[in-house]
Structure 1
Amino acid sequence: MKYKLITILVFTLSMNDCFASFQEDSTAYERQRAKVNRLLDQRSQRFGEFDASLRARSGIFGLKTKKDMQASIDILKEIVKTDNNIFKETKALLDFKDIEKQTVENKALESGSRITGYINTISKLRKSQEQLLEEVNVLKRQNSVYLNVLIIAFLALATVSFLLVKRKKN
């Protein structure tokens, strides 16, 4: 029972370390995710601007001018830059998630091997304890045999002494 409590305590302490680093990683992941979401919002806003610029016709008779076209192109360039940033940040987010996954796997493997080591140690201690208990039982039996031999020897000595004393009196 005592060994089970020790094993549970060690496992709990190992997992606390894992959860603490997981919370740190989770916070950083959430910040990165918020950054990607802001970029997506910016893209959506710029796309709305681009759509509005496509409809803009400031020329004579409602025709599209070169200036209108250039404004649309400039907005489109900004959308492309934002898309590139989104791709870059999304890749960082995915890389971060892969690193987080690898870290969790490594911690689980490390905890598993540590627990296996503790279990092996506990098994060795149990075997050692069983051997010591067996040795104690053997020594108790030997002690009992020696005590019986000693009692028999004492009785034999007392009997011989008694007979010798009785013979001397006769």
Structure 2
Amino acid sequence: MKRLFSLTALLLFAACVFAQVKTDSAAYSTQRAKINAMLAARKVKFSQYDTSLTKRSGIFHMQTKGDIRKSNDILMDIVGTDDEIFIELKKLFDYRTSQLNYTNYQKKQVESNAKEVEKTRIAFMTTINRLREQNDDLKATLAKQKAGYESRQKLYIIVIVLTFSSILALAFTKRKRKA
């Protein structure tokens, strides 16, 4: 019964573990997709920046302040996107780290449960062996007592038979004397 309970608890724990891993994996995949989309947007912005650097709308084909400001604005937007990407990457690494930590925690739990079950099993085996030895000792003691009882019983029968035969012999000898 205890083994059945332990097995059921272990199976429920494993089901919870697999459910957690799937949830973490889904969150991890979602986070990766978000970062990939941000990287694609950054690539588009960088190509806009590259285009703005080559754009020269001034006299004698020179860059104007407006051209430089547009390039700087695009560059600042790229920097903002990079900051957001770093924040999202940190979240992604946190997901991965927590997933690895949880996996290590699960392994430790399974190992400790296995050790506990092994200790319990060894304790049961030790108890069973001790009880078997006690049972064997009790059987040997019972056999000795039976043998002693049987030998005493035989002795009592012999004493009773001898007593009756002596009484009969005495009674028979008294009759012979009187006759």
Aligned length: 169
Whole-Å Cα distance in 2 between the matches of residues 121 and 62 of structure 1? 87
How far is the alpha carbon of 1:41 from its aligned partner? 1.1
How far is the alpha carbon of 1:150 from its aligned partner? 1.2
CA RMSD of aligned residues (A): 2.9
How far is the alpha carbon of 1:136 from its aligned partner? 0.5
Whole-Å Cα distance in 1 between the matches of residues 70 and 24 of structure 2? 42
Question: Which residue does 1:30 correspond to in 2?
Answer: 29
Which sits farther off after the overlay, 52-61 or 71-80? 52-61
Question: Which residue does 1:166 correspond to in 2?
Answer: 165
Whole-Å Cα distance in 1 between the matches of residues 22 and 14 of structure 2? 12
Q: Is 1:76 matched up with 2:91?
A: no
Whole-Å Cα distance in 1 between the matches of residues 149 and 23 of structure 2? 73
Question: Which residue does 2:86 correspond to in 1?
Answer: 87
TM-score normalised according to structure 1 size:
0.81
* Residue-by-residue CA offset, 1:54-81 (whole Å, 9 max, x unaligned): 2334445654443333322222111111
Whole-Å Cα distance in 1 between the matches of residues 63 and 118 of structure 2? 79
Whole-Å Cα distance in 2 between the matches of residues 108 and 48 of structure 1? 48
* Residue-by-residue CA offset, 1:4-57 (whole Å, 9 max, x unaligned): 999877665544433332222222222222211111111111112222222334
Question: Which residue does 2:150 correspond to in 1?
Answer: 151
Query: Which ranges of structure 1 fall in alignment gaps of 5 or more residues?
Result: none
Q: How does 1:113-128 map to 2 (within 5 A)?
A: 113-128=112-127
Question: Which residue does 1:55 correspond to in 2?
Answer: 54
Whole-Å Cα distance in 1 between the matches of residues 161 and 19 of structure 2? 83
Question: Which residue does 1:97 correspond to in 2?
Answer: 96
Partner AA of 1:68 in structure 2: D
RCO higher in structure (CA 8 A, sep ≥6): 1
Whole-Å Cα distance in 2 between the matches of residues 163 and 138 of structure 1? 37
Is the CA contact (8 Å cut-off) linking 1:50 and 1:76 kept in structure 2?
Answer: yes
* Residue-by-residue CA offset, 1:102-135 (whole Å, 9 max, x unaligned): 2222232233223222222221221111111110
Which of the two has higher C-alpha Rg? Answer: 2
Whole-Å Cα distance in 1 between the matches of residues 80 and 46 of structure 2? 12
Question: Which residue does 2:44 correspond to in 1?
Answer: 45
Identity %: 29
Query: Which ranges of structure 2 fall in alignment gaps of 5 or more residues?
Result: 170-179
Whole-Å Cα distance in 1 between the matches of residues 44 and 106 of structure 2? 42
Is the CA contact (8 Å cut-off) linking 1:11 and 1:115 kept in structure 2?
Answer: no
Question: Runs of at least 4 residues of structure 1 off by over 6 A?
Answer: 3-10
